[in-house]
């Protein structure tokens, strides 16, 4: 079963816009889980533009599904993860001023650094995932590091999907096949939405998890959070006439 982890960064964006506590990030996380989310993802960035360090501590006791924390493994981030002990940590190479994640790791150049970080988190019983582009050399590099999973950066897939869906998904299928062969779990995320998600899932049905935030929260403005989460979960099923 492919799990849906709801990224609630944008709930924090809305809350921060007025400086109060509305919407309440913890209550939304509780409700997302009640509505069927298999996990909650947050990405506490250094500038705290949305999810703040305090949010992560407030969320920790209330996330009873899977808690996935994403971030660039700075000393501050590593310290936070060691205190929180989430289900999973997803390592992303984001620059501090990046508007959003826009590429995966060079797992060859950064092998030694990432190996140390992965070993440290795994020694604490935290599942590790490394954010990568669908580049076979980078998948092999991730395997050499010893990570539990990779997360395929699906921004380019989403962009190409609108023009040529077969061309969009092809490199991801190849990367996911290699990852599976190497014994890596396969997560995916970034710019997945109700339009492109099922096509991606049908071509890579052994996906462990998709983490989705921006489009899901935007859809919820029109459909409501419960109906939206159910709609995204429904995309993670094979069409009825296809076994
Ligand atoms: C790693 C990833 O793709 C997501 O965490 C994405 O970076 C969301 O971050 P923002 O919500 O800050 O755009
Ligand atoms: N890892 C991807 C994620 O958590 C959410 O990305 P997006 O759906 O906000 O683009």
Angle at 65 between CA 82 and CA 89, to 5 degrees: 30
Say if 242 falls within a structural domain: no
Tell me which residues have their CB closer than 6 angstroms to ligand 1.
Answer: 7, 9, 43, 70, 92, 100-101, 131, 189-190, 213
185 in any annotated domain: yes
The residue whose CA has the least distance to atom 1 of ligand 2 is 189
What are the pocket residues of ligand 2 if the criterion is a CB atom closer than 6 Å to any ligand atom?
7, 41, 70, 151, 189-192, 211-215
Using CA positions, which residue lies closest to atom 6 of ligand 2?
190
Q: Using CA positions, which residue lies closest to atom 4 of ligand 2?
A: 211
In this structure, is residue 131 part of a structural domain? yes
Catalytic residues: 43, 70, 190
Q: Which ligand is nearest to the CA of 70?
A: 1
Tell me the DSSP string of 174-237: HHHHHHHHTT-EEEEESS--TTTHHHHHHH-TT--EEEE-HHHHHHHHHH-HHHHHHHHHHTTS
pTM greater than the 0.95 cutoff: yes
- Give the max Cα distance, the chain: 50
Domain count, the chain: 1
In CATH, what number is assigned to the domain containing residue 38?
3.20.20.70
Q: Which sign, positive or negative, has the C-alpha torsion 129, 131, 134, 135?
A: negative
User: Which are the contacts of 113, defined by CB distance < 8 A and separation ≥ 6?
Assistant: none
Give domain status of residue 168, yes or no: yes
Cα distances (Å, whole numbers) of residue 95 to 35, 47, 58, 115, 224: 33, 11, 26, 20, 33
Q: How far is the CA of 213 from the centre of ligand 2 (A)?
A: 5
Alpha-carbon distance 135 to 174, whole Å?
Answer: 9
Per-residue model confidence as pLDDT tens digits over 206-243:
999 999 999 999 999 999 999 999 999 999 999 876 65
Q: Write the ipTM.
A: 0.97
Structure tokens at 129: 């995932």
CA of residue 188 to ligand 2 center, whole Å: 9
241 is a domain residue? no
pLDDT per residue as tens digits for the range 171-182: 999 999 999 999
In a domain, 202, yes or no: yes
Report the distance separating Cα 73 and Cα 13, nearest Å: 22
Domain that holds residue 135: 3-235
Write the DSSP string, 40-66: EEE---TT-SSS-HHHHHHHGGG--SE
The ligand whose atoms approach the alpha carbon of 97 most closely is 1
**Is pLDDT above 90 for 153?**
yes
151 domain-assigned: yes
- Nearest-angstrom CA–CA distance, 201 and 204: 5
pLDDT at 92 over 70: yes
Per-residue pLDDT of 20-79, as tens digits, reads 999 999 999 999 999 999 999 999 999 999 999 999 999 999 999 999 999 999 999 999
Provide mean pLDDT across the span 183-202. Answer: 98
Residue at 87 is within a domain: yes
Q: Is the dihedral of CA 143, 9, 83, 60 positive or negative?
A: negative
């Amino acid at each position: 079963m492919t799990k849906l982890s709801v990224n609630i960064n944008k709930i924090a964006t809305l809350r921060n816009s007025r400086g109060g506590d509305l919407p309440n990030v913890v209550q939304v996380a509780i409700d997302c889980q009640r509505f069927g989310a298999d996990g909650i993802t947050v990405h506490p960035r250094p500038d705290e533009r949305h999810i703040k360090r305090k949010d992560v501590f407030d969320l920790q006791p209330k996330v009873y599904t899977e808690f996935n924390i994403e971030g660039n493994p700075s000393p501050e981030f590593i310290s936070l993860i060691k205190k929180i002990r989430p289900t999973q940590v997803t390592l992303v190479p984001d620059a501090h001023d990046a508007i959003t994640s826009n590429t995966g790791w060079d797992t060859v150049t950064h092998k030694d650094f990432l190996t140390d970080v992965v070993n440290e988190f795994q020694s604490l019983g935290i599942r590790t995932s490394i954010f990568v582009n669908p580049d076979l050399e980078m998948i092999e590099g991730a395997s050499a590091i010893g990570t539990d999973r990779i997360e395929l950066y699906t921004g380019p897939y989403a962009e190409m999907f609108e023009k040529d869906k077969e061309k969009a998904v092809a490199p991801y299928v190849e990367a996911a096949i290699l990852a599976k062969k190497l014994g890596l779990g396969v997560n995916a995320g970034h710019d997945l939405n109700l339009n492109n998600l099922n096509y991606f899932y049908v071509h890579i049905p052994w996906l462990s998890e998709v983490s989705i935030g921006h489009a899901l929260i935007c859809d919820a403005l029109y459909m409501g959070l419960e109906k939206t989460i159910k709609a995204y979960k429904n995309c993670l099923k094979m069409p009825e006439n296809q076994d």
